[in-house]
């Protein structure tokens, strides 16, 4: 009985891992590349214009699937989405797909590793979880807004640290909008760049001043609730002391 329960718990993560291995083995990454997009730009734009709803839904499904198996290059699809649908609609498809996939791997990580990690690590994880849960909204928004943290890693770490599903879902949905819009905008302008004989590049896309300043402002806003709670806590301690 215990063995059957263990198999059921590990099965979803095992399937996700097998899908990731199969994706690499079948040469999937070559299709998620700027080179492939440039070579197939006419087909992509034609498909999006002739069957917009089908293309939009397919983008969401593919993006969600790649995020759910934790493929680290899934963000390149944001360029595809911007190229096919424009910056705004492309961002919408990406945000929906990424959030669905993130929730899937979050649930898998939490159900598979969460209890086992808590039992083995004991009080160390309990203290970490307490701190995370106390300010989880701020933490999750910062992790989503800051480009330094890998998307797939945050999905798994949040599940291990006991984040609430609802908070994880909405902070993901909101927090990835700025970065997604930047990459979708690059995709939206890809046609003009290619027509001019220039090549696409992601180098420094999220570190330009006009991009990083608004994102930094959002990170500061995310930190405010945490800072205010700590200031209030110190005042209460000083009053009781």
pLDDT tens-place string over residues 8-63: 666 777 788 888 899 889 888 898 888 888 889 899 999 999 999 999 999 999 99
pLDDT tens-place string over residues 140-170: 888 888 767 788 888 888 887 778 899 999 9
Predicted pLDDT of residue 56: 97
What's the number of domains the chain is made of?
1
Predicted pLDDT of residue 211: 46
pTM of the model: 0.78
Q: Residue 122: which domain range?
A: 2-240
Q: How far apart are the first and last CA of the chain?
A: 54
């Amino acid at each position: 009985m215990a063995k059957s329960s263990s198999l059921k718990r590990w099965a979803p993560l095992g399937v996700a891992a097998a899908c990731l291995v199969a994706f690499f083995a079948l040469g999937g990454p070559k299709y998620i590349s700027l080179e492939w997009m440039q070579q197939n730009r006419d087909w992509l734009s034609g498909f999006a214009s002739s069957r917009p709803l089908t293309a939009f839904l397919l983008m969401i499904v593919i993006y969600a699937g790649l995020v759910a198996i934790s493929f680290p290059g899934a963000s390149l699809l944001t360029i595809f989405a911007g190229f096919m649908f424009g910056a705004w609609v492309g961002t919408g498809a990406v945000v929906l797909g990424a959030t669905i996939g993130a929730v899937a791997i979050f649930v898998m990580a939490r159900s598979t590793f969460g209890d086992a990690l808590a039992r083995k690590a004991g009080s160390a994880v309990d203290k970490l979880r307490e701190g995370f849960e106390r300010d989880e909204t701020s933490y999750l928004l910062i992790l989503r807004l800051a480009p330094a943290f890998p998307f797939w890693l945050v999905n798994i770490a949040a599940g291990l640290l006991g984040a609430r599903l609802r908070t994880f879902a909405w902070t993901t949905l909101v927090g990835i909008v700025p970065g997604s819009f930047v990459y979708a905008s690059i995709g939206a302008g890809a046609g003009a760049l290619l027509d001019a004989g220039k090549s696409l590049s992601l180098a420094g896309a999220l570190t330009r001043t006009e991009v990083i300043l608004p994102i930094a402002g959002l990170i500061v806003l995310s930190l405010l609730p945490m800072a205010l709670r700590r200031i209030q806590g110190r005042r209460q301690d000083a009053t009781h002391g």
